[in-house]
Amino acid sequence: MKHAVSQQIYDRIDNEMYQYDGDQWWKGNNVYHLLKGSVNPCRFPYFVRTYTQTLKRQAGGKLAIEVGCGGGILAEEIASAGFKLTGIDPAERSLQTAREHAKIYNLDIDYMPGTGENIPFPDAHFDVVFCCDVLEHVRDLPKCISEFSRVLKPGGVFFFDTFNRNFLSKLFVIKLWQEWKSTAMMPPKLHVYEMLIKPAELKELMLANNFDTTEFRGMSPNINPFKMISLLRKRAKGKITYEELSNVMKLKENNDTMVGYMGYGIKKKN
Ligand SMILES: C[S@@+](CC[C@H](N)C(=O)[O-])C[C@H]1O[C@@H](n2cnc3c(N)ncnc32)[C@H](O)[C@@H]1O
């Protein structure tokens, strides 16, 4: 069973960047653009298709929470699909950015401070919990999964995406994307290898917390590794922007969960 990470490991991740860089989410030529340009086009259609077609439910008016919403890049898509959305995040500066952006686009999203480990809502309150690109950032994953189960109504759905932990994800997520200067597109302390999560570990935690049906789908770049490395090098040299990078390198849904993956679980009805 995966446990909360030690202080020693947690000290190596830079979760403070969402506070000191919290005004950067919508500014284009930076790492946050990848969430909008490369990740959303893969995960969000999957979430909507699963909710409306596989599970045959309607998004309109359903109560949803996005845990770790940052500056609102996924939250705005969720709200636009019709969910009545609350976004929580520990980084107040990111929440401020999210509020300002939603106001410009006339989106009714309630943003408030909070963490996955301590969700400021009563039991059985939400129809859907989204926690995306966040599970690999939290100190206490088991506590978060138990909180998601607690705040969901029976039959409610938990959607997620995160990174696997193995030699290949170490090569891509940690080395190529983060540590090696000639290819890095992410800050060096964005992810910590030991905090990445195997699908089997996440599934075990979900089953232990009252989720029964679960699905895991792969998310991988739509280009081969050689093309990706060539684009990463151009980006690192400043020859192309993050926007140009994400226009070419998009994640696609598949069966390969070796590096990135997404999925859902349903809270038991009894
Ligand atoms: C990579 S961003 C993901 C933003 C958004 N969910 C998305 O996918 O576009 C990670 C977010 O997780 C937040 N975060 C870090 N630790 C958290 C915790 N314990 N509980 C909830 N959110 C957390 C950070 O502040 C940051 O906004």
132 close to ligand 1 (CB < 6 Angstrom)? yes
116 close to ligand 1 (CB < 6 Angstrom)? yes
Atom nearest to 89 CA in ligand 1: 22
Q: What are phi and psi of 212, to 5 degrees?
A: -110, -70
The domain 7-267 is placed in CATH, from the list 3.40.50.720, 3.40.190.80, 3.10.105.10, 3.40.50.150, at: 3.40.50.150
Confirm whether pTM is higher than 0.75: yes
Distance 209 CA to ligand 1 centre (A): 21
Ligand 1, atom 18, lies closest to the CA of 115
pLDDT tens, per residue, the chain with 270 residues: 899 999 999 999 999 999 999 999 999 899 999 999 999 999 999 999 999 999 999 999 999 999 999 999 999 999 999 999 999 999 999 999 999 999 999 999 999 999 999 999 999 999 999 999 999 999 999 999 999 999 999 999 999 999 999 999 999 999 999 999 999 999 999 999 999 999 999 999 999 999 998 999 999 999 999 999 999 999 999 999 999 999 999 999 999 999 999 999 999 997
* Residue among 134, 135, 177 to mutate when testing ligand 1 (max atoms within 8 A of CB): 134
35 close to ligand 1 (CB < 6 Angstrom)? yes
**Is 56 within 8 Å of 266 (Cβ atoms)?**
no
Q: Are strands 152-163 and 260-267 parallel, antiparallel or unpaired?
A: antiparallel
77 close to ligand 1 (CB < 6 Angstrom)? no
Break the chain into its structural domains and give their ranges: 7-267
Q: What are phi and psi of 180, to 5 degrees?
A: -80, 115
